[in-house]
């Protein structure tokens, strides 16, 4: 549905995106992750037919975005990271305007705007002025506007940035609903937990290059490369460290006051043996748990030190 | 058919049936702007200010002339000859017309020069540009919205003008003509503001440019009336502009990118209009150099005619208070049509010319807006550097050869 082939985009002083390629199938939700200034917005803007690539090509549903600009514009819904709203305009007028601008016939406009208002939970704000909405509502309104022409591909640039936790969760719920509707979604963020739950693919970009890209589970396995345990003891950590380092497959132990983080080089760890070793040697274990490696850890591992 | 529709749908159905047939082409931008324009106090304050300014002008004018000559004061009024009275009312009328024209020329570019730059500044241009709306529809919609507001202002001033009709000495046709001239000015100078808005990136720059264009065109309109020197200067600017455009079009080396092409577009539109204007003014320039025995009162420029009228001259020539025959029986009579300034046909011509100028400016604005919403290419130097980087072989080969 969306194919990026060796994309490159140069600005005056730098190459913002270099040799970036990935492919999204219909229904994919792709989390596009990277620190600020890594090239996420530039990539999305090329996909949204706002910028011409310096090199490489982007295809939406098989159409080159620079050659079939109008057709592509009819298929994509783009939500910019920063956007403004018109003054003195009501929510329904705003949507009605964009519906007309997307060439939705007069007869259908009302039902279409009502549908997107319903979907974004803004029906009660139908007659409110746009500039009086809260930031989260504006974000949802912009998303509603993006959905008017029923686009196949959604390009969402930082849809949850600058929102309070509640508004964030509302946006997430909305994205989950869109995923269920079978839309292909590319959503960018510089914060990982935002994307962790509903993406099936992720790509991590740094300094214009795609560092990691692929299925979320696969990447987790690849990057993780072994389990880690977190153990909190009530006494004598030195003895525990000595005992644990004797065990097979232990890669390293980090000590932080009374808690230990034990990393193993394989996935198959005999956790019972570890616990048994500690307890049999008279150490009092307060807690014993497997460390959950999440996207954030992956991100930190993959991008370590490259961006200052 | 209407009856059938009424019968099948009832009253509301008939309304819907009629309105569906009355609706023209879909101009979403116009609909939006019209909905928004009159919200809040601003639009109404401008209307108030407009009418108050005009009225003060009229009252002030009457007061000043009365104080100066004493002819309109109650006692002296009866002694005034009908000619003097009519002459005064006509002066009042022409002064009002010139004042209204000046107000509209000053307001029209201001109403349109933010049309596109404001979208950029409030970060809505990207989203508007990505919709499927044709660029033409955006430009025309914005323009018509401003024009509607100017028309509203003009309607507000109608009572002020009927005041002169009541005093006598001015014909309804003349008032209509003055409105035509003013409307033509709104059309033309409004379109210049829109063009400036499409050229400039920021509203303040667009404002400066819009008034620059307005000044230039006003100069063009008046050039022949002011005499040979301004006219020749205007012609020289026109010729130089056309020559530059021709050079741009003919010499490929001078147009390296899309940007230069856009500049060429605007210049072609602008200087073509310059040439038309210069050609129209040419006979009067010739007349002033070699006497063609043309009557100066036939100067086809309604701006000049109105201005001359307001100074107490008739059709460009000073007629004086007691010249000619007056059809009026008395100073208070509201009799028929008074002497008419030769302004109707010039006004119609000016209307056509303004329409042409506005159309040209809108074409240029459309092409500029279209270019602004297309996928933005790299600037030439960036593209060249990237090409050298991507295909080092070809670049070095070019260097070698």
The ipTM is 0.78
Q: Is B259 on the interface with A (CB under 8 A)?
A: no
Q: Which of A37-51, A185-199, B241-255 has the lowest mean pLDDT?
A: B241-255
Considering only alpha carbons, which residue of chain B is nearest residue A103? Answer: B132
A-B contacts at Cβ under 8 angstroms: 97
Residue B14 included in any domain: no
Res B217: pLDDT:
84
Res A85: pLDDT:
87
CA of B275, closest CA in chain A: separation in Å? 37
As a whole number of angstroms, the distance between CA A257 and CA B139 comes to 69
Res B110: pLDDT:
93
Q: Give DSSP secondary structure letters for B55-72.
A: HHHHHHHHHHHHHHH-TT
Residue B391 included in any domain: no
CA of B157, closest CA in chain A: separation in Å? 27
As a whole number of angstroms, the distance between CA A289 and CA A283 comes to 16
Q: Domain A228-290 belongs to what topology?
A: Alpha-Beta Plaits (3.30.70)
Q: How many angstroms separate the Cα of B7 from the Cα of each of B13, B22, B349? A: 9, 20, 48
Does A186 score more than 50 pLDDT?
yes
CATH code given to domain A2-214: 3.40.50.300
More confident residue, A263 or B215: B215
Does A101 contact B376 at a Cβ distance shorter than 8 Å? Answer: no
Res A19: pLDDT:
87
Considering only alpha carbons, which residue of chain A is nearest residue B372? Answer: A50
> Is B116 in contact with B142 (CB distance < 8 Å)?
yes
Domain containing B279: what range? 23-375
Res B139: pLDDT:
93
pLDDT digits (tens, 9 = 90+) for B5-22: 445 556 667 777 776 666
Does A10 contact B39 at a Cβ distance shorter than 8 Å? Answer: no
For residue B32, which residues of chain A lie inside 8 Å, CB to CB? 86, 89, 93, 97
Residue B163 included in any domain: yes
Does A89 contact B379 at a Cβ distance shorter than 8 Å? Answer: no
More confident residue, A230 or A153: A153
Q: Is B257 on the interface with A (CB under 8 A)?
A: no
pLDDT digits (tens, 9 = 90+) for B260-270: 566 666 677 67
Q: How confident is the model at residue A224 (pLDDT cuts 50, 70, 90)?
A: low
> Is A69 in contact with B129 (CB distance < 8 Å)?
no
Which two tokens mark B77?
């009024």
Does B375 contact A49 at a Cβ distance shorter than 8 Å? Answer: yes
Res B88: pLDDT:
73
For residue A85, which residues of chain B lie inside 8 Å, CB to CB? 122, 124
Q: Is A71 on the interface with B (CB under 8 A)?
A: no
Cβ atoms < 10 Å from Cβ of A11 = 14
Does A10 score more than 90 pLDDT?
no
For residue A80, which residues of chain B lie inside 8 Å, CB to CB? 123, 126-127
More confident residue, A216 or B122: B122
Q: Any idea where the domains of chain A sit in the sequence?
A: 2-214, 228-290
Res B314: pLDDT:
47
Q: Which among B117, B142, B378, B390 is the top mutation candidate for probing chain A, defined by the most A β-carbons within 10 Å of its own β-carbon?
A: B378
Element (H, E) at B317: strand B317-318
State the helix-helix crossing angle for B42-69 and B135-167, rounded to 10 degrees: 30
Res B26: pLDDT:
76
Does A106 contact B378 at a Cβ distance shorter than 8 Å? Answer: no
Q: Tokens 């097979």 belong to which residue?
A: A248
- Number of independent structural domains in chain B: 1
Question: How many CA atoms are closer than 13 Å to the CA of B351, on its beta-carbon side?
Answer: 14
Does A95 score more than 90 pLDDT?
yes
Average pLDDT of chain B, as a whole number: 74
DSSP, collapsed to helix, strand or coil, labels residue A251 as strand
CA of A85, closest CA in chain B: separation in Å? 6
The model's pTM: 0.79
Mean pLDDT of A102-120: 90
Res A211: pLDDT:
82
Phi, then psi, of B84 in degrees rounded to 5: -65, -45
Residue B254 included in any domain: yes
Q: Which residues of chain B have pLDDT under 70?
A: 1-12, 19-25, 65-84, 87, 224-227, 245, 248-266, 269, 283-301, 308-343, 390-401
Q: Which among B118, B132, B142, B371 is the top mutation candidate for probing chain A, defined by the most A β-carbons within 10 Å of its own β-carbon?
A: B132
Q: Is B382 on the interface with A (CB under 8 A)?
A: yes
Q: How many residues does chain A have?
A: 308
Q: What is the DSSP letter of A234?
A: S
Q: Strand (E) positions, chain A?
A: 2-10, 15-24, 29-33, 55-60, 63-64, 76-79, 153-157, 184-189, 201-206, 209-215, 228-233, 250-256, 259-264, 285-290
Q: Is B131 on the interface with A (CB under 8 A)?
A: yes
As a whole number of angstroms, the distance between CA A99 and CA A95 comes to 6
Strand duo A63-64 + A55-60: pairing: antiparallel
B118 Rama class: left (phi>0) / alpha (psi -120 to 50) / beta: alpha
Res B142: pLDDT:
93
């Amino acid at each position: 549905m969306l194919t990026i082939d060796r994309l490159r985009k140069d600005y005056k002083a730098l190459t913002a995106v270099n040799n970036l390629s990935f492919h999204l199938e219909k229904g994919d939700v792709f989390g596009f992750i990277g620190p600020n200034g890594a090239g996420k917005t530039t990539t999305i803007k090329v996909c949204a037919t706002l910028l011409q690539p310096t090199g490489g090509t982007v295809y939406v549903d098989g159409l080159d975005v620079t050659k079939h600009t109008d057709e592509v514009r009819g298929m994509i819904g783009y939500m910019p990271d920063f956007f403004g709203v018109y003054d003195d305009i009501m929510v329904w007028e705003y949507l009605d305007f964009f519906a007309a601008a997307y060439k939705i016939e007069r007869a259908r406009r009302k039902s279409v705007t009502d549908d997107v208002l319903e979907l974004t939970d803004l029906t009660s704000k139908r007659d409110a002025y746009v500039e009086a909405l809260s930031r989260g509502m504006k974000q949802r309104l912009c998303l509603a506007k993006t959905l008017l022409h029923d686009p196949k591909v959604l390009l969402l640039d930082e849809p949850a940035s600058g929102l309070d936790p509640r508004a964030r969760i509302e946006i997430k719920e909305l994205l989950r609903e869109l995923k269920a509707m079978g839309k292909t979604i590319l959503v960018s963020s510089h914060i990982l937990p935002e994307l962790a739950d509903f993406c099936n693919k992720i790509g991590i970009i740094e300094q214009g290059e795609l560092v990691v890209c692929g299925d979320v589970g696969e990447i987790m396995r690849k990057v993780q490369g072994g389990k880690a345990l977190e153990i909190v003891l009530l006494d004598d950590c030195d003895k525990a460290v000595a005992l644990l380092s004797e065990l097979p497959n232990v890669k390293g132990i980090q000590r932080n006051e009374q808690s230990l983080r034990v990393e193993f080089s394989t996935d198959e760890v005999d956790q019972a043996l570890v616990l048994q070793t500690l307890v049999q040697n008279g150490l009092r274990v307060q807690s014993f748990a497997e460390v959950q490696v999440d996207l954030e850890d992956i991100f930190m591992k993959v991008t370590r030190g490259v961006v200052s | 058919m209407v009856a059938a529709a009424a019968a099948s749908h009832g009253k509301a159905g008939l309304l819907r049936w009629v309105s569906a047939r009355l609706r023209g082409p879909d101009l979403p931008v116009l609909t939006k702007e019209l909905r928004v324009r009159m919200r809040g106090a601003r639009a109404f304050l401008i209307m108030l200010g407009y009418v108050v300014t005009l009225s003060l002008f009229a009252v002030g004018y009457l007061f000043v002339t009365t104080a100066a000559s004493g002819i309109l004061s109650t006692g002296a009024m009866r002694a005034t000859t009908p000619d003097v009275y009519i002459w005064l009312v006509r002066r009042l009328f022409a002064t009002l017309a010139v004042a209204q024209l000046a107000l509209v020329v000053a307001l029209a570019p201001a109403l349109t020069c933010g049309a596109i730059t404001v979208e950029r500044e409030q970060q809505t241009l990207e989203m508007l540009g990505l919709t499927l709306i044709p660029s033409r529809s955006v430009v025309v919609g914005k323009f018509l919205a401003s024009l509607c507001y100017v028309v509203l202002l003009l309607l507000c001033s109608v009572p002020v003008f009927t005041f002169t009709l009541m005093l006598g000495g001015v014909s309804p046709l003349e008032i209509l003509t003055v409105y035509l001239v003013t409307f033509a000015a709104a059309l033309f100078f409004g379109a210049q503001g829109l063009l400036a808005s499409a050229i400039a990136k920021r509203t303040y720059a667009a404002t400066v440019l819009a008034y620059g264009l307005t000044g230039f065109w006003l100069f063009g309109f008046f050039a022949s009336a002011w005499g040979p020197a301004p006219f020749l200067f205007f012609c020289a600017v026109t010729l130089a502009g056309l020559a530059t455009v021709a050079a741009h079009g003919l010499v490929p080396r001078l147009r390296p990118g899309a940007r230069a092409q856009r500049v060429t577009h605007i210049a072609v539109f602008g200087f073509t209009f310059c040439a038309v204007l210069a050609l129209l003014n040419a006979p009067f320039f010739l007349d002033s150099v070699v006497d063609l025995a043309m009557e100066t009162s036939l100067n086809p420029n309604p701006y000049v005619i109105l201005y001359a009228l307001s100074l107490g001259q008739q059709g460009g020539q000073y007629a004086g208070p007691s010249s000619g025959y007056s059809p009026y029986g008395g100073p208070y009579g509201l009799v028929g049509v008074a002497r008419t300034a030769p302004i109707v046909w010039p006004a119609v011509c000016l209307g056509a010319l303004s329409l042409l100028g506005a159309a040209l400016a809108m074409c240029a604005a459309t092409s500029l807006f279209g270019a602004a919403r297309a996928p933005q290419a790299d600037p030439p130097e960036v593209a060249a550097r990237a090409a050298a980087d991507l295909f080092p072989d070809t670049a070095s080969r070019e260097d070698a050869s």
